[in-house]
Structure 1
Amino acid sequence: MEAARDVGAGDDQKHRRIVAHWPRAETFAEIAIEINLHSILVVLLSATYREYQTFHCSTIRMFVFDKLESVGDCMIKENSLKTDYQSLVESAAARIREMLIAGQFAPGQKLSEHQVAAEFGISRNTLREVFRLLTSQRLLTYVPNRGIFVAAPDEAAVIDIYRVRLVIQKAAVQAATKGHPALARMRLLVEKGREFSHLGEWRQVGTVNMEFHRAMVDLNDSPRLGACFDLVIAELRLVFGQLVDTAHLHEPYVELNASLITALDEGDVISADSQLETYLLRSERGLLAALQRARRPNKPIALS
């Protein structure tokens, strides 16, 4: 390394003369600097034009390509490690999103790095990358000097969530075809929703309802739309998580889901599209009203 620096400093003019007669030398020099193969640089900078004439070009070529092959192997291994690490981060983030959709984390809940890392079997550094990813997706919130908290979406977020739902789900209804596998899953989820409704398990009804709409989006046959909708549904669950009594928000939609799947099964896209639009508008208004009531400070009852 020191030799390369000395030669480069002392023989700059000689190097320029070599490059003038040997245009490929500049390319080799740039490669050598870029990948820190100083031994190649020493060969190029210390050679005179006369030495080059007697130095067989194939020898240099073999030397250079041997070095580049070793570097290439290292780069492939490094890229493989980066891919594995990124997959680990995305996998952990997906698991946390599923837990949010299932209602296992409460809005505003502080997440302990130590506990979550131990539960997922990953390092705390990896978990921080997961937290950064989920924060960028508006599912977590970072508070300086306090830590990471589960997000608590407000009314503005609800309006935007339903705007996105309308676009994606109307496209799904319009793309529906008879016999699509997603329709069978939607029918099964309607029955599960009825079962939980009869048991009064309203959180489970909400989870099944979200799965119903995820299945509907699968009618688009678009993994990208599906991934986008997963983020929307996870954020929506965090809105419902701020409410204590959600029975009135879930109960009417069990049979509305059944009506939707009936229209889709019959191929009546116009009816399904109209039902969905009314469904989402009603759901948005009901959720906004419930969220406002939940955030309204309790006023003492005046005694007469």
Structure 2
Amino acid sequence: MTSGADERLTAVIDVSGLETDRLLLGRTSTAERVADVLRDRIAEGFFPPGTKLSEDSIKGALGISRNTLREAFRLLTRERLLVHELNRGVFVRVVTVEDLGDIYRVRALVECAAVRGVGDPPYTGAVTEAMRAIEAAVVAGEEAARGRAWQDLSTANIRFHQGIVALAGSPRMNDLMRGVLAELRLVFHVMADPRRFHAPYLTRNRQVWESLDAGRVAEAEALLADYLADSRSQLSGAYAQQMATD
């Protein structure tokens, strides 16, 4: 009997869409920039969890060397987005239930600290830019829900949390959470009903945003902490059940 996980492992993925990303690499392609492209594609679900990545197909689509691609694979393996299996190749990682708990521990530490450090309005610099991004993500999520575009809703929710992290004005925190949130996205790609896990949090996204916008930072942090705890509880139980089924 073939499980859902086995079906994902053997799936043949069309990489033709990567050719549009080739322009992003420019004439000075580097492994880091290739990793950026692949990380985004993994987060978007272009390569679902368990998918084997074909070196020949991807390097041909992006117009890069095998060595550059392998270095990009190594970078993403360190980020826990890919896994190398001896004599089998490179696969998009399937997140474990234990991984999911750790992801939420990191999120709570980083996101709540980013909110806590905002300070009092009027906001300036990186905080102002982050606030605009948060507001835009809230609006985009609400519009996606009205249009029943559930994957767009998922993307808007990720961007909301990226905006929260950006409040800290730390490139290192942004880089850290970009990988963490991409890893979280792997979990959502396994779940069958993204609406169930994102739509209920639209109101809470707006509440966090409105508290920040009004300068009620302690309130925003408390709302976010409760939000992440509830999200972790809901998703962990459903993911454990899904993985047991697969």
| Structure 2 unpaired stretches of 5+ | 1-27
Which whole-Å CA distance do the structure 2 matches of 1:135 and 1:122 have between them?
19
The equivalent position to 2:132 in structure 1, one of 177, 184, 193, is: 184
* Structure 2 residue 91 is the aligned partner of structure 1 residue 149: yes
Equivalent residue letter for 2:117: A
* Counterpart position of 2:179: 231
Q: Which residue of 2 aligns with 1:271?
A: 219
Structure 1 residues 29-178: aligned runs within 5 Å: 88-177=30-119, 178=121
Structure 2 match to 1:68: none
Structure 1 residues 64-103: Cα deviation after superposition (integer angstroms, max 9, x where no partner): xxxxxxxxxxxxxxxxxxxxxx970111101111112222
Which residue number in structure 1 is paired with residue 203 of structure 2?
255
Cα distance, 1:147–1:164 mapped onto 2, change above 3 Å:
same
Residue number in structure 2 paired with 1:50: none
2:29 touches 2:64 (CA, 8 Å); kept in 1? no
Q: What residue is the counterpart of 1:294 in the other structure?
A: 242
Deviations 1:105-164 (A, max 9, x none): 100011110111112210112111111111111100111111110001111111110111
Q: Contact 2:191/2:242 (CA < 8 Å) preserved in 1?
A: yes
Query: RCO (CA 8 Å, sep 6+): is it higher in 1 or 2?
Result: 2
Aligned residue pairs total 214
The structure with the larger Rg is 1
Q: 2:190 aligns with which of 228, 242, 261?
A: 242
Task: Report the TM-score when normalising by structure 1.
Answer: 0.68
Identify the range of structure 1 (286-295 vs 254-263) with the bigger mean alpha-carbon deviation.
286-295
1:190-201 pair list within 5 angstroms: 190-201=138-149
Give the CA deviation at 1:296. 2.8
> Residue 297 of structure 1: CA displacement?
3.1
Q: Distance in 1 between matches of 2:37 and 2:116?
A: 31
Quick one: which amino acid aligns to residue 252 of structure 1? P
RMSD: 1.6
Q: Residue 285 in 1 paired to residue 233 in 2? A: yes
Q: Hey, what does 1:207 align to over in structure 2?
A: 155
Structure 1 stretches of at least 4 aligned residues deviating more than 3 Å after TM superposition: none
SS at structure 2 position matched to 1:220: coil
**Counterpart amino acid of 1:186?**
I
With the length of structure 2 as denominator, give the TM-score of the two structures. Answer: 0.83
Give 1:185 deviation, angstroms.
1.5
Question: Which structure has greater helix proportion?
Answer: 1
Give the SS at the match of 2:192.
coil
Q: Which amino acid aligns with 1:104?
A: F
Counterpart CA distance in 1 for 2:220 and 2:227 is 10
**How many percent of aligned residue pairs carry the same amino acid?**
38
Identify the residue that residue 77 of structure 1 maps to in structure 2.
none
* The 10-residue stretch of structure 1 (171-180 or 225-234) with the greater mean CA deviation from structure 2: 171-180
